[in-house]
A and B are shown apart, each in its own frame.
Chain A
Amino acid sequence: MSAVITATGLSKRYGLGKNATPAVDNVSFTIPAGRIVGLIGPNGSGKTTTLKAALGLVPFDGELNVLGFDPRTQRDALMKEVCFIADVAILPRWLAVKDAVDFVAGVHPKFNRAKAERYIASTKLKPSMKVKAMSKGMVVQLHLALVMAIDAKLLVLDEPTLGLDIIYRKQFYQNLLEDYFDEGKTIIITTHQVEEIEHILTDLMFIREGKIVLAASMEEVGERYTEVMVPSEKFNAANALQPIDQRTVFGKSVMLFDSAGPNGATREQLAGIGETRNISVADLFVATMKGSYA
């Protein structure tokens, strides 16, 4: 299957002339089909801008190919194959459940009405209920019911569970995996709650100050990065192997090694200096974002 998104030299500047700040700075990446990609970065890092560019919501410089379309000139065709949830609870307050289903059924060629109704039947939503009478969690349920019934090749979720309590959050991903995702679809998720989706992701993209700092599959990440708990007597030996990050936990040193970096250390070498383990995405994120990783 060909790539779902290909970006080449993607840039977006806000402001004019010398004071223009690049929100996205000459970024290139490829996202293959059938993946669940986590786009992770701090606020203002350019992750939302990148997504907006891919969805044709803002103009940009450079090249972007999304499902074979240019989001600038072919947005209408693109939107038949893509869906997105931009933020939790942005459904209009006056919209009723029944009308929402009717409307999407009437305008979207790939909407499966029965699927949406089945999902709604499993919630507490009633057909005549309006969004203004719903809790945040219920609004997300409605939005998800609509989105999951659309057979879109690409689904973009920008902070989809922001502000939701845990039951709705877990249900959100449960439903996504159980009823929606298959090898023909691709999902891109951005979230602050990295731990929550850590094991759902197949690929990782870290973005900082408009540049991609890391783009790898979770498998590669598991192979490349190793955390080592280094006892004090092995400290110098460990340092000689050039860790890319180091922190102290309960007085013990925990060092992070990248086997793909310059002078990369292998697992065997690392096993000799302490207890090795895989790093969690959250810790990897903090380590790479700290600025000590070039």
Chain B
Amino acid sequence: MMTPGWNEHTPIYRQLKEKVLEMMLDGDLKAGDALPSVRQVAADYQLNPITVSKAYQELVDDNLVEKRRGIGMYVTEGASEKLLASERERFMREEWPAMVERIRRLGLNLDLLLRAAPPEAEGNA
């Protein structure tokens, strides 16, 4: 059982949802994989089941996860692609412009930055 440090900036259910999203992006959760039950997650992370349900519900609303009656929650087909696409879009829309602004302000050269960047980690798409 683990109690990862939850931060105080966002509601817990959103942080939990984000954890699931990370797992999907990293390929730990693939299409057709089952999510652990609400009860199991609540017990393992010492959260109340309502919080976990809320996180799962948002995943369902985002069409990343589907509820199969009587069996549990499963990652939908094409979920990781969908997620990757929406994460990319969010990066381009929200994070990248701010980053570009900062790079320019610091007078850094984009080419040099790329060459200085750490090598790609294994398994990234």
Contact = CB atoms under 8 A, between A and B. Distances in A.
The yes or no verdict on A and B being binding partners is: yes
Interface of A: 36, 170, 173-175, 177-178, 181, 183, 196-197, 199-202, 218, 222, 227, 276-280
A177 B49 contact: yes
Contacts of A279: 8
Interface of B: 1, 6-12, 39-40, 42-51
A168 B43 CA distance: 14
Contacts of A218: 48
A174 B9 contact: no
A174 B1 contact: yes
Nearest to B50: A202
Contacts of A280: 8
A148 to B, nearest CB: 12
A142 B1 CA distance: 21
Contact of B48 (A36, A170, A227): A36
A36 B51 CA distance: 12
A36 B11 CA distance: 18
Given A36-B48, A199-B48, A199-B51, A177 B42 contact: yes
B47 A200 contact: yes
A181 B49 contact: yes
Contacts, number: 53
B17 to A, nearest CB: 15
Contacts of A196: 46
B48 A200 contact: yes
Nearest to A174: B43
Sort A-B residue pairs by CB-CB distance and give the 5 closest, nearest first: A178-B43, A177-B43, A277-B8, A278-B8, A177-B42
B48 A174 contact: no
B38 to A, nearest CB: 10
Nearest to A195: B3
Given A173-B43, A277-B7, 18 more contacts: A170-B46, A177-B39, A177-B43, A177-B49, A199-B6, A199-B12, A199-B47, A199-B51, A200-B42, A200-B48, A202-B50, A218-B48, A222-B11, A227-B8, A276-B9, A277-B8, A277-B9, A280-B8
B47 A170 contact: no
Nearest to A203: B48
Contact of A178 (B6, B11, B40, B50): B40
Output the residue of B6, B7, B42 with the most chain A CB within 10 A. B42
A276 B46 CA distance: 25
B8 A170 contact: no
A278 B7 CA distance: 9
A174 B46 contact: yes
Given A178-B40, A222-B11, A278-B11, A202 B46 contact: no
Output the residue of A170, A174, A175 with the most chain B CB within 10 A. A174
24 contacts: A175-B43, A177-B39, A177-B42, A177-B43, A177-B48, A178-B39, A178-B40, A178-B42, A181-B39, A196-B46, A197-B46, A199-B6, A199-B12, A199-B46, A199-B48, A199-B51, A202-B48, A218-B48, A276-B9, A277-B7, A277-B8, A277-B9, A278-B10, A279-B8
